[in-house]
Structure 1
Amino acid sequence: MKLLCSQTELHKSLQFVSRAVATRPTIPILNNILLNADARKGQLSIIGFDLSLGIQANLPASVEESGTVALPSRLFGEIISKLSDETPLSISNLNSNNQIEINSFSGTYQVSSIPADIFPKLPVVENGIPIRLEAESLIRGLRATLFASSNDEAKQILTGVHLQFNGQELECVATDGHRLAVLRLTHGVTDAGVNESGVTTENYAVTLPTRSLKELERLLSGCPSKEDIKLLYNEGQAMFIWSNQTLTSRTLEGIYPSYQNLIPTHFAQSITLDRKALIVALERVAVLAGKSNNIVKFICDSESNKLYISTDAQDIGSASESITVDFNGAPLQIAFNVQYLLDGLKVIADEIIQILCNASDTPAILTSQAEVRNFTYLIMPVQIRD
């Protein structure tokens, strides 16, 4: 291997790829990254893979000799980050002692390498269903749902985000059993493909781990692209391709819950109010709620058109706030986990929202006031003793 490349591009690519390097690997090789220099393509590829999540970044390079080598991710990354970006870096493989040599205008560094054939191969999706997604829509969908997935590994299927495809529509869904976030993107899919077996994306779905999709959202947000995101997937594996990056992830096995059946269609009570005013009030009350059980109580009636928010932290203190609202229905008294409320409120785009309820022990819905409600946030109330 012998090449010249930009320090800036290499450093940026290493930051991307390092997200897929295992922090506590089951086998030592997973602490490493794979460098592949291709003279024909004039390209350096860098791969990180922890057997579940894989990230590949490609950058232009002047490659004199092709080659592949595995290097310690953290050490190599720290060296590159400290080098000057004034001149290109020279990277070459010293075959005599299994080391690579890095040359900059100010110095020379040598790092011991590992044979590339030990590094696990990044999975390739063969005969997968090809889909093109609008980048901005995918980012919105992930931001609106990732927070609601479960951390409980015993509920594996709930530790991911469910992507449902139907023609040009993309629906992103996440639930942990206590809350449910659903964002429907009517033009999220720019091209619904067909694989070699004739299978299309019509009413097709896949569930991917939250960790993988958090990294995808981070990468897409950190390096915005006007290009569509290409998704290839089949049973067991998914691959996202955009610009010069590729992210691969395993899929989650199991049947995702029938979440549509959980969302009520009729409501006895509705509260229409300003989203920011509610967030500010909840954040103030949460100072005390967080010292106890995170529970806040809502009381509302049509006579006062006030929403009263309160919490009682036993042996510590209590707090209450009130907000002017537009209320319809019978008097309401209901309690929620304050953090769950704040999580949902912070991803709703509209400033005027609605809280829809039926009873103190049935699911409530947070959504926008707009006629077309693309985002739905269902939250289970908390039962409290008076």
Structure 2
Amino acid sequence: MTASPVASLPLSAIAKACRQAARQLAVLPTEAKNQAIEAIAIALEAATPEILAANAADCVAAQTDGIPKPLYNRLKLDETKLKAAIDGVRDVGKLSDPVGAVPIHRELDEGLILKQVTCPVGVLGIIFEARPDALIQITTLAIKSGNGVILKGGKEAIRSCETLVRVIHQALSATAVAPAAIQLLTTREETIALLQLDEYIDLIIPRGSNSFVRFVQENTRIPVLGHADGICHVYIDQAADLQKAVDITVDAKTQYPAACCAMETLLVDSAIAPTFLPLAAAALHKRNVELRGDEATQNILNTSYSVVPATEEDWSTEYSDLILSIKVVDSLDAAIDHINTYGSQHTDAIVTEDQAVADTFLAQVDSASVFHNCSTRFADGFRYGLGAEVGISTQKMPPRGPVGLEGLVTYKYQVAGNGHIVANYVGEKAKPFTHRDL
């Protein structure tokens, strides 16, 4: 296996090399970055058998180690998932360059011009579990946004990640993007060391459990863009269309249960519960979903379906599996209160034909993504037209929700004058500013 350009160096040297390469990447024209992205797509297509073989070896080892089913589903990279990831690479290449935009262009005074210009963050430190396809997405977004990236994947995906980075490095070696801009760490010890490299790393993005994200936040001085649990809800309002409600419920739970935007709790208005729940339970039963319900749910369903009594813990659990907790609520306010109490501010949906009720839900549910009459599974960077995502941020400060290119740039203020000095703008004879947008 061909080593990466700086793989044998100490971590600080790797980070320094990444930062130097990132500075070169930051000033590349859009065409050069797009050429590098297309080179990666071509190389990944050519190396598909090798990548899948490495992933298969990871999967075998992970099963031997007793990997949890949800994590195994995220680890497994079949030909369909890899092709989708490569399509995502090309989609990023088609997106507008986020670097060099000018949101503000303003005359402060004659000959004194202010510009707010978008620019790369610098070097990203990405720590993620299992998903090798995430490495592909993150690398592509980093290049398009002009950022270097240091990737730390989980041990369960080490063969997949090493193969992917080697293929990416080989692709970049024939482009204007230095391979050193993309780095991979492979040991647990390097995770702790990575968090101390505030001299070289500008932003840490952890993708894992809530406890892991908190651990990262508490052990670094580097800004952290946190993506933790995905405890997502669907609320079936009394004015819901029953067929829409069943279809959305099934899709949100079963389309890909391991996804962070899969539904974990179904809330049903008491006025519609006796009619809706048997329909939903029948559809979910066909897909082998285990149901856990409150007393009202049990009373409605237990004559036909086995419903496990839900506990307080169920309302705050991300199953990432074919398990669904169900609660009957008396009102829209009760549904919103439940979501804001137990949810993770990720993605929550309402099914209703009453627009006023939907508007209230969308306004009052405190989550990064709020949906009306559609599945929570749409909460995804690719589906949002972002090309891909580095993660989904559940924090209040932006970027929030799926983080694509716009979340990987910051800005600087550029001011150009012609000998202007502040002394002329203060005092009794102060010159006025024009503050005219150009």
Query: TM-score, normalised to structure 1's length?
Result: 0.25
**Quick check: which one's helix share is greater?**
2
Whose relative contact order is higher, 1 or 2, with alpha carbons under 8 Å and at least 6 apart? 2
